[in-house]
């Protein structure tokens, strides 16, 4: 083989280059309705101890406190290294697979528990962190992980921020990471998190038997793997199902809205085309024409849109053919959302749970 041919053979293809993650990333801030996210810093690691984020870790993620603390430390350092253009090996903790990580600190500047004080004033307003870990550019896959302080669990923060981070993760580059799949792994006993993930569109894809040790019950437990794909995830519906609003200037949202609008238009046009033939119509007992199923579907969708304000019309369309677990009739408005009052004044003892 000639030297030129050998050099040419070693050059990556365009597809291979497209699957390489950038050497440096600008981690975007993300706005939530209850909290907001900013890139995590090394200094934030100490705040996680202050808010007792590792209490009850074995029941939430399946790790003990030491392992959970070590994982958070590594994730933050890898995230900071990537934002500075350093290799994974330069983060101080390394990564044998050179996978990338993005870490955000979850910030609140409000009094959500009604005690008259900012919820997390003692920790510089940090109430937890959210991560995209094990980011694989080749497979276009990433795992999402949330770690909250002991007193900030069960208040709806995960439902507020997870779909916004996932929207960024799925959005095409340069608006987002361009992921194809986002997955989670959760202990079987953590039914609360399983419910949250299902409401966000995750579906169970596997189970690792006796993969974790349940310290509180002195027994093994299974690890449930759940995932969702880019063409399955609907960020608008996942927020709307829990009374959250779409924030259009968040990263990836405009792209998601455009893609969803295009998909809905295709569905409606297809339904109209299928129902346009007069032979599809049926006669009732009086000899009058009745619409076909597809025609009725389009009519129902149009009726829904005419009964709703203009800004909600795009969210109501497509429900007839939708497999999302929450339909438009089950949605709540933000004013009546359950998280407005959930957890007020409540403190939790998660020790050993």
CB 253 within 8 A of CB 167: yes
**Residue 344 covered by a domain:** no
Residue 200 domain-assigned (yes or no): yes
Long-range contacts of 52-58 (CB under 8 A, 24+ apart): 52/149, 52/150, 52/151, 52/350, 53/128, 53/129, 53/147, 53/148, 53/149, 53/150, 54/147, 55/150, 55/350, 55/351, 56/150, 56/350, 56/351, 56/352, 56/353, 58/212, 58/213, 58/214, 58/215, 58/216
**Residues 329 and 220 grouped into a single domain:** no
Determine the distance from the C-alpha atom of residue 244 to the mean position of all C-alpha atoms in its chain, rounded to a whole number: 14
Count of other CB atoms within 10 angstroms of residue 246: 19
Tell me the CA end-to-end span of the chain in Å, nearest whole number. 63
Report which DSSP code applies to 155.
S
Residues 267, 214 share a domain? no
- Examine the domain organization and report whether 58 and 16 are in the same domain: yes
What are 238-279's pLDDT values in tens digits? 888 778 899 999 999 999 888 877 777 787 887 777 765 444
Considering the domain architecture, whether residues 318 and 298 belong to the same structural domain is answered as yes
Pairs from 310-318 (Cβ < 8 Å, separation ≥ 24)? 314/236, 314/257, 314/260, 314/261, 314/264, 315/236, 315/237, 315/240, 317/264, 317/267, 317/268, 318/263, 318/264, 318/267, 318/268
For the chain, percent of residues with pLDDT exceeding 70: 72
Q: Are residues 206 and 113 in the same domain?
A: yes
35 and 140 in a common domain: yes
The reply to whether 261 and 243 lie within a common domain is: no
Please tell me whether residues 196 and 308 are part of one structural domain. no
- Looking at residue 89, what DSSP letter applies? G
Spatial contact of 63 and 141, defined as CB atoms under 8 Å apart:
no
In angstroms, how far is CA 47 from the centroid of its own chain? Answer: 24
In a domain, 353, yes or no: no
* Domain-located, residue 3: no
pLDDT reported for residue 180:
96
Structural domain contains residue 26:
yes
**For the segment 3-38, what is each residue's pLDDT rounded down to a tens digit?**
554 444 566 565 555 788 999 999 999 999 999 999
Domain count for the chain? 2
Paired strand residues for 143: 133, 183
Structural domain of 310: 256-277+291-333
CB atoms within 10 A of CB 24: 11
Q: Angle at the Cα of 221 (from 353 to 182), degrees rounded to 5?
A: 90
- According to DSSP, the residues that pair with 31 across neighbouring strands are 36
**Among candidate residues 99, 105, 47, 54, the one with its CA nearest the CA of residue 78:** 99
Instruction: Name which residue leads in pLDDT, 120 or 227.
Output: 227
**Closest to 154 (Cα-Cα) out of 341, 325, 352:** 341
- pLDDT for 122: 78
What sign has the CA pseudo-torsion 146, 176, 136, 198?
positive
Of 113, 77, 107, nearest to 92 by C-alpha is 77
CA 62 to centroid of chain Cα atoms: 20
Low-confidence winner among 65-74, 121-130, 154-163, 330-339 (lowest mean pLDDT): 330-339
Residues 269 and 234 in one domain: no
% of the chain surpassing 90 pLDDT: 42
CATH code of the domain covering residue 179: 3.40.630.30
> Does 21 map to a domain?
yes
Q: Are residues 204 and 270 in the same domain?
A: no
| Helices 253-275, 157-170: crossing angle, 10 deg rounding | 80
206 within a domain of the structure (yes/no): yes
Q: Are residues 321 and 213 in the same domain?
A: no
Q: Cα(329)–Cα(212) distance, rounded to whole angstroms?
A: 39
Please indicate, yes or no, if residue 203 is contained in any of the structural domains.
Answer: yes
pLDDT tens column, 84-105: 999 877 888 877 777 899 999 9
**Does residue 225 share a domain with residue 93?**
yes
Mean pLDDT of 138-160: 92
Q: What is the DSSP letter of 137?
A: T
12 secondary structure, DSSP code: P
């Amino acid at each position: 083989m000639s030297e030129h041919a050998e050099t040419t053979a070693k050059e990556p293809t365009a597809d291979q280059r497209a699957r390489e993650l950038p050497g440096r990333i600008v981690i975007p801030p993300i706005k939530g309705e209850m909290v907001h996210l900013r890139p995590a810093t090394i200094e934030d690691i100490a705040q996680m101890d202050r808010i007792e984020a590792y209490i009850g870790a074995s029941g939430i993620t399946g790790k003990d406190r030491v392992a959970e603390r070590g994982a958070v430390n590594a994730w933050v350092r890898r995230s900071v290294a990537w934002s500075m253009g350093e290799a994974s090996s330069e983060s101080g903790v390394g990564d044998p697979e050179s996978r990338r990580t993005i870490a955000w600190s979850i910030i609140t500047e409000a009094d959500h528990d009604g005690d008259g004080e900012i919820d997390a004033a003692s920790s510089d307003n940090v109430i937890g962190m959210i991560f995209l870990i094990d980011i694989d550019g080749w497979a276009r896959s990433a795992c999402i992980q949330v770690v909250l302080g002991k007193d900030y669990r069960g208040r709806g923060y995960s439902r507020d921020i997870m779909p916004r981070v996932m929207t960024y993760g799925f959005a095409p580059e340069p608006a987002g990471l361009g992921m194809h799949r986002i997955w989670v792994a959760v202990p079987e006993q953590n039914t609360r998190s399983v419910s949250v993930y299902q409401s966000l569109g995750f579906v169970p894809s596997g189970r690792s038997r006796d993969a974790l040790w349940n310290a509180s019950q002195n027994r093994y437990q299974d690890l449930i793997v759940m995932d969702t794909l880019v063409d399955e995830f609907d960020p608008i519906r996942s927020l709307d199902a829990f009374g959250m609003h779409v924030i259009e200037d968040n990263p990836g949202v405009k792209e998601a809205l455009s893609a969803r609008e295009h998909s809905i238009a295709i569905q409606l046009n297809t339904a109209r085309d299928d129902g346009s033939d007069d032979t599809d119509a049926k006669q009732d007992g009086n000899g009058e024409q009745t619409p076909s199923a597809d025609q009725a579907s389009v009519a129902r969708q149009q009726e829904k849109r005419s009964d709703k304000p203009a800004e909600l019309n795009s969210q109501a369309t497509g429900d007839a053919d939708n497999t999302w677990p929450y339909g438009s009739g089950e949605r709540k408005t933000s004013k009546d959302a359950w998280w407005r009052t959930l957890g007020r004044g409540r403190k939790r003892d998660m020790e050993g749970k």
